[in-house]
Structure 1
Amino acid sequence: MISLFFKMKTLFLGLALCLTFVGETLAQNTIQLKEYFRELKQVDVTIAGQPYTFLFDTGGGQTFVSPEVAQKIGRQPYGSATAFRMNGEMFRYQKLDSVEIRVDNVPLFHVTVGVWDLMSILPEGLPKVDGVISLKSFQDRIVTVDLAASRLQIETSATLRKQQGRLTLLPSRFANGLDGSELTIFLGIPHQDRSYWFLLDTGNISEVLLSHQTASGWGLQSDTTVQRTALNPIAIQLGRRKLVSKAAAENIIYDGVLNYDVIRQTRMTINFPAGQVWMH
């Protein structure tokens, strides 16, 4: 009888461990990306029980709520932070601390968010958005960005391990902005034994952008003029693949900026805690 008891106990313990492992493997959440304008994507979010619409932008640096949202949740913005747009334009914004934003059904706690009116820079006539979800929102998560399927997949360490043998690790840099509160990713693009660092930017719905210095170094233009220059389509080397897109040279502060079109051609799993970007 005692022997049977221990056998049953061992069986149930093994079953429990198995279910725990399966639960960890399958415990994924999907965030749907919805159409906003052209290729720009929006997501449904909830803050303090109220629904809002936010733009999804991997190049945004900071996650922002509008001043109107800050007022609705009864919070007073404070302080000042400084950021730069890709053209070098500086802008300042205020902050809020300790804000939970639920994106679809995924709760994302933010130690700090920015307070800024995105509509102030968007063309007139576009639908209202109440803020921006950036990569900063996922800084303690593992996320697969799948633009072709219009979704973000929240991974677990187990689901990543299961796929990792089929993935390619990309050279990457995780940047935190001037005061350490932002989060953007730059991918290393090899060219003639050198690495050029391009911003990962789903919000760039035009061409792949190269600085004039990069375009000149790649032999795509003869000088480093300050005028925007349309280029022939180029092949961007990412891992073992070459992804083709229209391109332009522009006066930007980075080596280059990847666009929606290139990012859509692949899936990328970003392991934020480990500082790694894997390409499918």
Structure 2
Amino acid sequence: MIRPALAALCLCLGTAAFAHAAQPELDIKLEPYRKSIAVHATVAGQPGFFGFDSAGGISLVSPQLAQKAGLQPWGMLSGYSMTRNRFDIPQLEGLPVTLGGRSWTPRGLGVMDVAPLYAKDNTLPIDGNLALDLFEGKVVTLDVPHMHLYVESPDSLRERVAGAIEVPMRVAREWQGRTLSVSLGVKSPKGLVWFELDSGNGGVVLVSKPFASLFNLDPAKEGPQKVRLELAPGYTLESEMGMTPDMIIDGNVGMILLRQAVVTLDLANSRAWIKPVPPAQP
């Protein structure tokens, strides 16, 4: 017979054993691709390897993958990159994207060869780019230091943001509501300046010329400069790779931030949190 005290001890030990961290809805493994990140996914039954571009706005498949899947793109989507380059691409609608063992159906897909966007001489196979539009209405966490993308559950979200720093965030929608991207508000002497969060940006901090002086940057200077961004009280991002190109957005920050912090994005309620990751010990 188990005595009451021993039974209570066993119960406590059993409870502790099962008191593990709350589980997210989905855990998607990220992989490196050039200076950015990528995932394996299936579009309309056709498997492929896709860049994950948090600033892409709309998920894209290559013409080659669309042809293999027997798809017939139609219509036209027209827009501009942040550096004023115009894109006119056909679209697809109602197609499932299977990622992390779950099927997602975005509002639309664009059809475009994205390989030259990574490098003019890109010889590494890539079947398109996936973007935040897949996760409309969800909370996602980009944990690039540990190479995971999480779709959070209510319980895992509470644990994820405990001790994190909340930062201003805006959701941007273009192409008549088809796209979804986010920008983070950065404090300046004049007010908030909005920096697009761009996992496709492998290693620079971009500040549009009209905003450059607010961050002690010379808009006329070619080449990198030291830049300092106060994302929130208690968290400042510093980099030697600040650039001041001619852009149609305020600014853009990508892997320089994502390599040193876990970033959680509530796409339904326009909230964001940053949790710095301690530097690896030598």
TM-score range, shorter chain: 0.7 to 0.9
**What is the alpha-carbon root mean square deviation over aligned residues?**
2.1
Instruction: Give the whole-Å Cα distance in 2 for the aligned partners of 1:73 and 1:86.
Output: 31
Match of 1:249 in 2: 244
Instruction: After TM superposition, give the deviation of residue 47 of structure 1 in Å.
Output: 2.5
Is 2:191 aligned against 1:190?
A: no
Instruction: Give the whole-Å Cα distance in 1 for the aligned partners of 2:48 and 2:222.
Output: 36
**Alignment deviations for residues 81-109 of structure 1 (CA, whole Å, 9 cap, x no partner):** 11211111111111111111112323222
Give the secondary-structure state (helix, strand or coil) at the position aligned to 1:111.
coil
Matches within 5 A, 1:28-39: 28-37=25-34, 39=35
* Aligned equivalent of 1:40, options 26, 31, 36: 36
Instruction: Give the whole-Å Cα distance in 1 for the aligned partners of 2:57 and 2:129.
Output: 10
Instruction: Give the whole-Å Cα distance in 1 for the aligned partners of 2:21 and 2:91.
Output: 35
Q: Aligned AA for 1:134?
A: A
Q: Aligned AA for 1:138?
A: F
* 127-136 vs 104-113, which moves further: 104-113
Structure 1 spans left out of the alignment, 5+ residues = 1-21
* Aligned equivalent of 2:80, options 60, 84, 88: 84
**Alignment deviations for residues 205-259 of structure 1 (CA, whole Å, 9 cap, x no partner):** 13101111111233322xx54x644212x22212231121121111111111112
Match of 1:97 in 2: 93
Match of 1:107 in 2: 103
Give the secondary-structure state (helix, strand or coil) at the position aligned to 1:196.
strand
Q: Aligned AA for 2:103?
A: P
Q: Aligned AA for 1:112?
A: G
Structure 2 spans left out of the alignment, 5+ residues = 1-18, 276-282
Instruction: Give the whole-Å Cα distance in 1 for the aligned partners of 2:268 and 2:48.
Output: 28
Is 2:136 aligned against 1:147?
A: no
Match of 1:279 in 2: 274
Contact 1:29 1:154 survives alignment (8 Å): yes
Is 2:241 aligned against 1:235?
A: no
* 201-210 vs 211-220, which moves further: 211-220
Match of 2:131 in 1: 134
Contact 2:107 2:178 survives alignment (8 Å): no
Match of 1:201 in 2: 198
Contact 1:97 1:113 survives alignment (8 Å): yes
Instruction: Give the whole-Å Cα distance in 2 for the aligned partners of 1:98 and 1:23.
Output: 38
* Aligned equivalent of 2:51, options 55, 71, 82: 55
Instruction: Call closer, same or farther: CA 1:54–1:193 in 2, change over 3 Å.
Output: same
Q: With structure 2 as the length reference, what TM-score do the two structures score?
A: 0.83
Instruction: Give the whole-Å Cα distance in 1 for the aligned partners of 2:181 and 2:274.
Output: 17
Instruction: Give the whole-Å Cα distance in 2 for the aligned partners of 1:167 and 1:94.
Output: 40
Instruction: Call closer, same or farther: CA 1:56–1:23 in 2, change over 3 Å.
Output: same
Contact 2:75 2:91 survives alignment (8 Å): yes
Contact 2:77 2:88 survives alignment (8 Å): yes
Contact 1:24 1:156 survives alignment (8 Å): no
Instruction: Call closer, same or farther: CA 1:68–1:265 in 2, change over 3 Å.
Output: same
Q: Aligned AA for 1:242?
A: T
Instruction: Call closer, same or farther: CA 1:188–1:73 in 2, change over 3 Å.
Output: same
Q: With structure 1 as the length reference, what TM-score do the two structures score?
A: 0.83
